[in-house]
Amino acid sequence: MVKTRKKIAVVALGGNALLLPGEKGTIQEQFLNTQKSIEGIVHCIKRGFDVVITHGNGPQVGNLLMMVELSRGKVPELPLGTCVADTEGAIGYMIQQALINRLRKEGIKKCVVTILTQVIVDKDDAAFKNPTKPIGSFFSEEEARIFREEKGWSMVEDSNRGYRRVVASPNPRKIVEEESIKRLLESGEIVIAVGGGGIPVTIDKDGYLEGVDVVIDKDLASSVLARDIKANYLFMLTGVENVYLNFGKSNQKPLDTITIEEAERYMREGHFPKGSMLPKIQAAINFLKEGGERVFITAIDKVKESIMGQAGTRIIP
């Protein structure tokens, strides 16, 4: 008897889903937000999908880097890659616990596993020569000068609030733990992976992995993961219900269902901001061109409606 392959869904939670504007960011607040954010994931599981969960970590890494700065000279410093790994584990723990408890309540017997995921980037990626992603605390001009000289950091003035470190954001190429994720899915596990875009690594001349202090866009990394595990669907859950044309303007227009061709045209026309929607659209296009069936971009609480065609933006081949 031939076993029917289940549909695989990669569900990408935005980092701000766990730490909302106006909150202090306590662990108690983040646990409560996590419990609310998993409703769409539970719906996918009930529909019979095999699910892989990814998530952002921007606010959490920012807080951890602030702790690093405040403890400078008292404890050894943590490099950025280690901070990404720490937050990937911590957020994975929160999602894992919240989901296990919710599945128990629903009477669903499934294991939930978090994998600390390394993501390979090309050491020759042009992004390394043009760091643009601001991270961490604000510093004075004198502190910025010292960090440039002593650490080789790239520092830029940020909105007249001081100087911040900027790092490269190269494109993700491959998921190191891909085969482990596949095996866990095949055994019926729910997997949490590629947290915060994954821990960035390069491959040296001898073929060994080496960590690098850069950040990887979570949605682009989720797209690579979805491609490599041959997922059917990619959900990118964010703070708005739809993708919009002319977002924030009087003539803004929500998009319902669009094709790759339409998405590329709107992208060329400049409808999608670099720091927010553009990576999601690029991730959607990449995934669909590699064989994905459908991409859903919507609010965290609109997954069910989005699948039914009643909310959100759907992108199709």
Give the active site residues: 15-16, 133, 218, 280
Is 269 inside any structural domain?
yes
Which comes out higher in pLDDT, residue 129 or 14? Answer: 129
Lowest mean pLDDT among 64-78, 102-116, 252-266: 64-78
93-103: string of b/e by CB count within 10 Å (b at 16+)?
Answer: ebbbebbeebb
pLDDT of residue 4: 62
pLDDT category at 177 given cuts 50, 70, 90 is very high
pLDDT of residue 2: 46
pLDDT of residue 150: 86
* Residues 75 and 196 placed together within one structural domain of the fold: yes
* Residues 91 and 236 placed together within one structural domain of the fold: yes
Helix (H) or strand (E) holding 105: helix 80-106
* Residues 279 and 223 placed together within one structural domain of the fold: yes
Mean pLDDT of 166-192: 96
Instruction: Give first-to-last CA distance, the chain, whole Å.
Output: 32
Is 3 inside any structural domain?
no
Is 19 inside any structural domain?
yes
* Residues 253 and 234 placed together within one structural domain of the fold: yes
Number of independent structural domains in the chain: 2
* Residues 16 and 103 placed together within one structural domain of the fold: yes
Domain that holds residue 145: 131-167
Mean pLDDT of 243-255: 90
- 12-28: pLDDT as tens digits: 998 667 877 788 889 99
* Residues 253 and 204 placed together within one structural domain of the fold: yes
* Residues 154 and 217 placed together within one structural domain of the fold: no
Residue with tokens 């957020």: 91
Q: What is the pTM of this model?
A: 0.91
* Residues 147 and 246 placed together within one structural domain of the fold: no
pLDDT at 277 over 50: yes
